[in-house]
Structure 1
Amino acid sequence: MAFILALFAISLASGFLIPVTLAFLLFFVFARLRRSMVRRKIPAGIAAGLIVLTVVVAVALVLMAIATPASQLLDRIPEITGRLESKIQGLRGSISLLDAAVMQLRRNGDPESAVVTSSAFIAIVTAMPELVGQVFFVLCLLFFLILCGDLLYLKIVQSFDALSDKRAAYKALRDIEDSLGQYLGAITVINVGLGVAIGLAMWALGMPSPAVFGLMAFLFNFVPYLGAIAGALVATFVALMTFFGIGYPLFVGLVYMALTAIEGQLITPYYVSRRLRMNPVVVFGAIALGAYLWSIVGMVVAVPLLVVTSVIADHLPALHKFANFLSGESPPLLATTDTPT
Structure 2
Amino acid sequence: MLLTSVEVSEHESVLSLIKPNDGLGLCILEHCSSIHPIEPHKNAPSQPTSQNYISAMALDFQCSFQVPAFVTAIIAWLLSFAALLTPAWQVVYARELQQWIQSGLWMNCQTRPSGMYTCTYTFDESDFNFYTSAEIVNWRTPPFYAWQRRLLIVYLIGQFIAFISIVSFCCGLQPAGRRISAVVFIAAISIALCLHAGCTVVFTFFSQLVEYRFYHVSVSGIYEKHRGYSYYIEIFAVVFYFISLLFAIVHLITSKRLENRFSNPASSTASNAFKFSDRFVGTDPSGDYRQVESYYYPRPGSSASANLSAMDAYEARYASRALPPLPK
TM-score, with structure 2 as normaliser? 0.23
Higher relative CO (Cα under 8 Å, sequence separation at least 6) belongs to 2
Q: Which has a greater percent of strand? A: 2
Q: Which has a greater percent of helix? A: 1
The structure having more radius of gyration, on CA atoms, is: 2
